[in-house]
Structure 1
Amino acid sequence: MLIITIKQGKEKSLLSGDPWIYPSAIEKVDGKPQERNRPGATAIVQSSARQFLARAAYNAKSQIAARVWTLREDEPVDHAMMKRRVQAAVAARGQGLDPQALATLVDGDKDGLPGLVVQAYGGQAGYLVCQFNAGAVELWKVPIVQALLAATGCANVYERCDPLVRKGEGLLVKPGALAGDEPPQRLMVRAGRGLVPMDIRTGFVYPK
């Protein structure tokens, strides 16, 4: 596992709750080259005095060098963590949604899933649209999708890709269905009090 050592004094923002670690805060990164070059590889973050600070996802290709998973030393980063956090996010936001709205189910760092945005349309018979905007969640894509399928009962999961964001993270740009069917090109989506024609795969709103 990688070990990220933070420069003296730079741990203050981390301890105050900032989930992002920038390259300027890092003294050194120890570990195998293949791990250092893999976007989203799990790392232990320690202070300059070698005290544990966090577990984080490291990405040498990103302007955000590491994204914190947990400040608890006894909490491993594994499939079970992804399942728990997806379940918690869906439980918090998944009730009473307007089936014609494109509603947010998972909202990145707020849900402990850095870089992940999931929107729902159409209830269980509809679609989940996911954006894996960081190496952190890209590396755990399969268990995250499995957890979404189980937590929502929705069988159709589509990945939307923002080329600038994905390339900035060193990730491939490959939108498409991750489970079930791809959404149709045009759906009527709630916007305020009315409905607008939208391609939920991209977020493009058609002219009226």
Structure 2
Amino acid sequence: MLIITIKQGKEKTLLAGDPWIYLSAIEKIDGKPQELKKPGATAIVQSSSRQFLARAAYNAKSQIAARVWTVREDEPIDHALIKRRVQAALARRAVAWSIADPQALFQLIDGDKDGLSGLLVHSYGGAEGYLVCQFNAAGVELWKVAVVQALLKETACPNVYERCDELQRKGEGLPVFPRALAGDEPPQKLMVREGKRLAPMDIRTGFTYPR
């Protein structure tokens, strides 16, 4: 387990609820070399006085050195936590999703707001359509399989596609490899509702075709 020690006084933003820890706020990082090089490795975050502050996903290749998973000392980072976070995010939006226009891209998971920093999930076509995921941080990238398993179970949507934001993933030191993670890949062109109009879009990339 990695241990991140925060500089004296720099823990204030963390205690105020900011889930991002920048390198400038870190006094030192202790741990095995292989863990230090592993994007998304779980780290214990402590104050300069060695008091527990959080568990976070560490990434030496990112300007955001760590992203908080939990501030509870008794909450481990495991498959069960990922499942709970996905379930909670979907539950918050279940009613809205059930009545949403199936031709609109409906957001099911919104990163830090759902305790899944860097993860964005949109739905197209309802439960029989497509889920489009973006893993824009090393922590959720490391738990990708658990995320997809939870999405498949909780939504019953069989098709999960990974869309890659090249700039964000490269900034995290992650490979850019868009692909179907489960089921079928979305068609290149679908009609997507934006406000009151329908426009042809490639939901795999977000590209809107000229009309």
What TM-score range do you get, normalising by the shorter chain? over 0.9
SS in 2 for 1:5: strand
Q: Does 1:7 align with 2:10?
A: no
1:203 is aligned to: 206
CA distance, structure 2, for counterparts of residue 157 and residue 53 of structure 1: 35
SS in 2 for 1:55: strand
1:24 is aligned to: 24
Q: Does 1:46 align with 2:46?
A: yes
CA distance, structure 2, for counterparts of residue 48 and residue 134 of structure 1: 26
SS in 1 for 2:132: strand
The AA in structure 2 aligned to 1:109 is D
The AA in structure 1 aligned to 2:27 is E
The AA in structure 1 aligned to 2:10 is K
The within-5 A match list for 1:69-88 is: 69-88=69-88
CA distance, structure 2, for counterparts of residue 180 and residue 172 of structure 1: 22
Give 1:129 shift.
Answer: 0.2
CA distance, structure 2, for counterparts of residue 194 and residue 164 of structure 1: 29
CA distance, structure 2, for counterparts of residue 33 and residue 139 of structure 1: 18
2:176 is aligned to: 173
The within-5 A match list for 1:1-208 is: 1-95=1-95, 96-208=99-211
SS in 2 for 1:181: coil
Give 1:97 shift.
Answer: 2.1
CA distance, structure 1, for counterparts of residue 5 and residue 31 of structure 2: 11
**Per-residue CA distance 1:56-85 (angstroms, 9 max, x = gap):** 000010000000000000011100000001
Give 1:181 shift.
Answer: 0.1
Give 1:33 shift.
Answer: 0.6
CA distance, structure 2, for counterparts of residue 31 and residue 108 of structure 1: 27
CA distance, structure 2, for counterparts of residue 33 and residue 48 of structure 1: 22
Instruction: Compute the TM-score of the two structures, normalised by the length of structure 2.
Output: 0.97
> What is the CA RMSD across the aligned residues, in angstroms?
0.6
**Per-residue CA distance 1:18-63 (angstroms, 9 max, x = gap):** 0000000000000001101111000000000000000000001000
Give 1:94 shift.
Answer: 3.2
SS in 2 for 1:13: helix
CA distance, structure 2, for counterparts of residue 83 and residue 3 of structure 1: 25
CA distance, structure 2, for counterparts of residue 76 and residue 207 of structure 1: 48
What percent identity do the matched residue pairs reach? Answer: 77
CA distance, structure 2, for counterparts of residue 99 and residue 36 of structure 1: 43
Instruction: Compute the TM-score of the two structures, normalised by the length of structure 1.
Output: 0.99
